[in-house]
Amino acid sequence: MQHDFLKNYKHKTKESRRLYSRAVKVFPGGVSHNIRYFEPYPFFVSGAKGKQLSDVDGNKYTDYWMGHWALILGHSPKVVVNALAEQAKNGILYGTVNGVSVELAETIKKLMPRAEMMRFSSTGSEATMYAIRLARARTGRRIVAKAIGGWHGFNTALMQTVNYPFEEEEGLGLVQDEGQFVESIPFNNLDASLKVLETVKDDLACIIIEPVLGGAGCVPPIDGYLQGLEEFAKKNGSLFILDEIVTGFRLSLHGAASIYGLEPDLFTLGKIAGGGMPIGILCGDKDIMSLADPVARADKESLCAIGGGTFSANPMTMTAGLLTLNFLKENKQQVYSKIDRLGRMARKGLTKLFAESGIPCQVTGEGSMFLTHFSKNVVMDATDIANSNRELLKAYHLALMANHGIFFLPTKMAALSFAHEEGDIKKLLEATKKIIIDSKLFKRFA
Amino acid sequence: MQHDFLKNYKHKTKESRRLYSRAVKVFPGGVSHNIRYFEPYPFFVSGAKGKQLSDVDGNKYTDYWMGHWALILGHSPKVVVNALAEQAKNGILYGTVNGVSVELAETIKKLMPRAEMMRFSSTGSEATMYAIRLARARTGRRIVAKAIGGWHGFNTALMQTVNYPFEEEEGLGLVQDEGQFVESIPFNNLDASLKVLETVKDDLACIIIEPVLGGAGCVPPIDGYLQGLEEFAKKNGSLFILDEIVTGFRLSLHGAASIYGLEPDLFTLGKIAGGGMPIGILCGDKDIMSLADPVARADKESLCAIGGGTFSANPMTMTAGLLTLNFLKENKQQVYSKIDRLGRMARKGLTKLFAESGIPCQVTGEGSMFLTHFSKNVVMDATDIANSNRELLKAYHLALMANHGIFFLPTKMAALSFAHEEGDIKKLLEATKKIIIDSKLFKRFA
């Protein structure tokens, strides 16, 4: 790939290139998270404020990635920053129970009453791993069903059918026997999904699913799909687990479950819930969660041993999470109507722009989340996304970044924050128009 | 159990009791980490500074738990607190590559040259999970050997033979087939360990081991044990993985590997490396780590897909870690000579005290870590610890907490920090003496 905008990018990011050459000497591929790499090398961030990232070369970017979609109030909102400075003085890691964790849990429970009980961990990968363990403990069954393209973190059990080609192993070092208890179902195809589930129903411990496919590329559910899975699970004595790590507190203060009318047995939260600090939360039905009660079940045979970890419920994360949720509660109307409106504006505007230029494009999304797909077909699942023109999407995102100071993590979904404004969406649309007209990118595809 | 000191504890912790009654309504057992529960209920921490914890009732405790042994500089050291306040203003979660992560990695590599490359994650459980995945990827083999009682976090693969009785499953929800590739060896018994390893050598991907058993109860290795395992692994084409999450930067600035003369292929860090903020690090040989390079190995079949996660390399953790390691480097002599001296003083003093009172007790430890065991036998492995008088140890720790304001997480190892002083050890010894003389605790056992 050699585009003009890449020349421009390299010209503007000399210090990042220098840092990247140091990074590859200490990190495989120069990164600690695979998706953070993009060609020719990622820019190195030196600061972030509101909607903006600054890099080490002094470039500014309007951020549509927003810390893996976690930063609903923007980067470093004052209310969180001040509280973290105070908390740091008063203890970074107590290593013990503390009041602020109780407050955060009670706040979540009030907003999401199905979170009758919960456990805090430090990452989403841990929360989904514990969800599955608890489902197996509860049902005495072994099989976990997940969506093709569904992303639930890097834990071993759920590293199946994540990346295209989905039928192949997710890389080296995963023992096949460990994957034998995962069944994958096609997102948004209820009949085909139920057919698969039917074949394993006697040993089906749970279905775990994102309400909107996130990592796979922003695919909302069609009416009835999630409800159909839930119905099957409940009838079958399997648990229905909703992975709301991305959607919780983003699509609504009460989660995607409230939007889609779902009643999961267990669900996972993360990202927004920690106010930008490391968190994963497993929540749900009291009876099920009680299988993990180390007091009532002191014998190891009767306990489902799920962790929290050294950093679980640490006062920094608890404080950042609590203040973020309190802000969202107090400004609910303002925040969600704004970010949803900006999301609609982006989806509508981009759809119109590409249609007018004769470029087959679909803009998927829900609320404040959106992503463009260059495809003649309707995008309904992870396979459709894998079959869309991903190279073009990458180039489009790189062009936005290099020539217009607009940052999408290339090929990844965008999530808007309360710090974004209408003017930002207008700039995104203008920049996109300019790329369509000026560059040769879309010429071949149109 | 109904001791006088428990009456005193309840009297002094009424607000904690109230908070605990709220906590059990939102958390199974009222905690987010099982080991944080103790009878009759844990006190709720409201602040921490230096060597001291404060609870919600206004009680103060000299802390020997120190945030799961992570806080080598004490709670909220100024250098870290100030930097976190600044960093929070400048970005909590960039979600991108950044310079401070490169600096931290380069600092670690200089201190521990075997960390040729590394990957940052947010918890130790993740780091050990990735270590195993990488070992399997490298060797094409499946079996992982670990020590009986060895603790490597809550990831599914390593949840085997953690708690007594070791031969039983670690609770509900773990699928037996997932555990079939773990073999457990008796710590400190090289012959017996090699015998087990010999039976699985053709499929042995790695041996993963803590240099000092930590969670199981502070058991240092006898001469030749770890070296013998390493030798076997290297001869056999298996990887030798040292889990230095507890010992790294604690036993020495260069890790336990440098003390015991080990050359692990891979090793894990955590705790101290993040300066109190969430971290886990997988480090090691460049060729092995390169299997996780997402740039050179863009096809999923050739890549070992290990994660970092949303919060990996976040600038708050990176900053806290970097400043902590820099402080340790600049004050190396002062810090380690002090904490090791205090550790020796505690071990010697406690050993003498109990011996003089005719109470069979062993104080194990290394450097700044120590733990008492009430046993007539020499404590050499996790089974010996399980067979020691754990109820007495729990009662002793509770008595220290209730009557003397000295906090050990009951039955758990202590780790000293730079904030501790000789006077603290003296107080610990005096308190212990008082408990021996006054209470009926030790009468039956002596």
Each residue of A198-219: pLDDT tens digit?
A: 999 999 999 999 999 999 999 9
Task: With both helix axes pointing from N to C terminus, report the angle between A390-404 and A422-438 in degrees, rounded to the nearest 10.
Answer: 110
Q: Which residues contact B370 (CB under 8 A, 6 or more apart)?
A: B218, B343, B346, B347, B350, B363, B364, B413, B414
Between CA B116 and CA B108 the distance in angstroms is: 9
Structure confidence at residue A2 as a pLDDT band (50, 70, 90):
low
The tokens of A331 are what? 């400004």
Question: In what order do the strands lie in the sheet containing B414-415?
Answer: B362-366, B369-373, B414-415
B170 DSSP 8-state letter:
S
Residue B160 has pLDDT above 60, yes or no: yes
Closest approach of B347 to chain A, Cα-based (Å): 24
Domains B4-75+332-445 and B78-330 share a fold: no
Burial class, B58, CB count within 10 angstroms (exposed 0-12 / middle 13-18 / buried 19+): exposed
Q: Nearest-5° angle of CA B360, CA B366, CA B372?
A: 25
First to last CA, chain A: 19
Name the residue with tokens 């965008």: A414
Q: State the CATH class of domain A4-75+332-445.
A: alpha beta
How far B437 CA lies from chain A's nearest CA (Å)?
Answer: 30
Contact yes or no for A277 and B93 at CB 8 A: yes
Q: Is B95 on the interface with A (CB under 8 A)?
A: yes
- DSSP string across A324-340: HHHHHHHTHHHHHHHHH
Mark yes or no for CB contact B31/A294 under 8 Å.
Answer: yes
* Alpha-carbon gap, residue B80 to B316, rounded angstroms: 10
Identify the band that residue B443 occupies on the pLDDT scale cut at 50, 70 and 90: confident
What confidence category does residue A411 fall into, taking pLDDT thresholds of 50, 70 and 90? very high
Per-residue pLDDT of A138-192, as tens digits, reads 999 999 999 999 999 998 889 889 999 998 888 999 887 777 899 999 999 999 9
- Contact check, Cβ <8 Å, B94/A43: no
Q: Give pLDDT tens digits for B346-358.
A: 999 999 999 999 9
Interface contact A110, partner B, CB < 8 A: no
**Per-residue pLDDT at A421 exceeds 90:** yes
> Cis omega before residue A113 (within 30°)?
no
C-alpha span between A138 and B116 (Å, rounded): 43
Q: Which of B71, B175, B287, B408 to mutate to test the interface with A (most CBs of A within 10 A)?
A: B175
The residue among A103, A86, A122 whose CA lies nearest residue A317 is: A122
Cβ distance B168 to A46 less than 8 Å, yes or no, reads no
Instruction: Check: CB of residue B405 under 8 Å from CB of residue B377.
Output: no
pLDDT at A157: 86
CA B113 to chain A, closest CA, distance in angstroms equals: 11
pLDDT of residue B2: 62
Rounded mean pLDDT, A323-347? 98
By the CB < 8 Å criterion, does B270 face chain A?
yes
B251: DSSP letter: T
In this prediction, residue B401 carries a pLDDT of 97
C-beta atoms of A171 and B303 within 8 A: yes
Q: Which residues of B touch A312 (CB under 8 A)?
A: 32-33
Closest CA to B33 of A337, A230, A292: A292
Q: For the segment B22-50, what is each residue's pLDDT rounded down to a tens digit?
A: 999 999 999 999 999 999 999 999 999 99
Complex prediction ipTM: 0.98
Check CB contact under 8 Å for A65 and B96. Answer: yes
Identify each DSSP E strand in A178-271 by its residue range.
Answer: 182-185, 204-209, 239-243, 266-270
Shortest Cα distance from B380 to chain A (angstroms)? 23
Q: How confident is the model at residue A446, as a pLDDT?
A: 56
The 10s digit of each residue's pLDDT in B419-436 is 999 999 999 999 999 999
Is the pLDDT at B146 greater than 70, yes or no?
yes
Secondary structure string (H, E, C) spanning B258-274: HHHCCCCCEEEEEHHHH
Cα–Cα distance measured from residue B125 to residue B131, given in angstroms and rounded to the nearest whole number: 10
Does B446 have pLDDT greater than 70?
Answer: no
Q: Is the peptide bond before B221 cis (omega within 30 degrees of 0)?
A: no
Best residue of B32, B36, B43, B51 to probe chain A, by most A CBs closer than 10 Å: B32
- Select from B412, B331, B326 the least CA-distant residue to B365: B412
State yes or no: pLDDT of B18 exceeds 90.
Answer: yes
Query: Is the predicted pLDDT of residue B1 greater than 60, yes or no?
Result: no
Q: Which of A90, A119, A290 faces B32 most closely, judged by CB atoms?
A: A119
The share of chain B scoring above pLDDT 70, in percent, equals 99
Decide if A177 and B172 are in contact by the 8 Å CB cutoff. no
CA B76, B78, B81, B83 torsion: positive or negative? negative
pLDDT at residue B342 greater than cutoff 80:
yes
Residue window 192-221, chain A: list those with CB within 8 Å of chain B: none
> Burial, B166: exposed, middle or buried (Cβ in 10 Å; 0-12, 13-18, 19+)?
middle
Chain B, nearest residue to A278 by Cα: B311
State the first-to-last Cα distance of chain B, in angstroms, to the nearest integer: 19
pLDDT of residue B175: 83
Q: How many cross-chain Cβ pairs, A to B, lie less than 8 Å apart?
A: 447
Length of chain A: 446
pTM given for the model: 0.98
- The proportion of chain A whose per-residue pLDDT surpasses 90, expressed as a percent, equals 93
Report the percentage of chain A scoring pLDDT > 70.
Answer: 99
Q: A121 vs B126: CB contact, 8 Å cut-off? A: no
Which of B297, B311, B312, B314 has the highest number of chain A CBs within 10 A, making it the mutation to test binding with A?
B311
User: What's the confidence (pLDDT) of residue A439?
Assistant: 74
Residues of A within 8 A of B215 (CB-CB) are: none
According to CATH, what is the number of the domain A78-330? 3.40.640.10
Segment among A107-111, A126-130, A301-305, B158-162 with least mean pLDDT? B158-162
Query: In 3D, which of A217, A227, A300, A220 has the Cα closest to residue A264?
Result: A227
Which among B45, B295, B316 is the nearest to A29, CB-wise?
A: B295
CA B367 to centroid of chain Cα atoms: 14
Q: How far is A364 from chain B (nearest CA, A)?
A: 23
Which residue in A29, A97, A300 is closest to B42 by CB distance?
A97
In 3D, which of B147, B251, B219, B223 has the Cα closest to residue B371? Answer: B219
Taking CA atoms, A219 is separated from A124, A148, A385, B67, B353, in Å, by 20, 12, 9, 41, 67
Q: What is the DSSP string of A3-41?
A: -HHHHHHHHH-HHHHHHHHHHHHHSGGG-SSGGG--SS-
Contacts of A302 in chain B (CB under 8 A): 171-172
Instruction: Write down the domain spans for chain A.
Output: 4-75+332-445, 78-330
Q: Write down the pLDDT at residue B348.
A: 98
Half-sphere exposure of B213 (CA within 13 A, CB side): 28
CA distance A136 to chain B (A): 4
Q: What is the pLDDT of residues A51-74, one digit of tens each?
A: 999 999 999 999 999 999 999 999
Q: Is the pLDDT of residue B55 over 70?
A: yes
Nearest-CA distance from A282 to chain B in Å? 10
pLDDT value for B439? 74
Q: A141, A151, A123: which is closest to A212 by C-alpha?
A: A151
Lowest model confidence (mean pLDDT) among B157-171, B277-291, B319-333, B425-439: B157-171
Mean pLDDT to the nearest integer, A382-391: 96
The residue in chain B having the minimum alpha-carbon distance to the alpha carbon of residue A43 is: B97
- pLDDT at residue A440, as a whole number: 83
Residue A298 predicted with pLDDT over 70:
yes
Q: Are A411 and A390 in contact (CB under 8 A)?
A: yes
Rg (C-alpha) for chain A, rounded Å, is 22
Q: Nearest CA to CA, how far is A446 from chain B (Å)?
A: 28
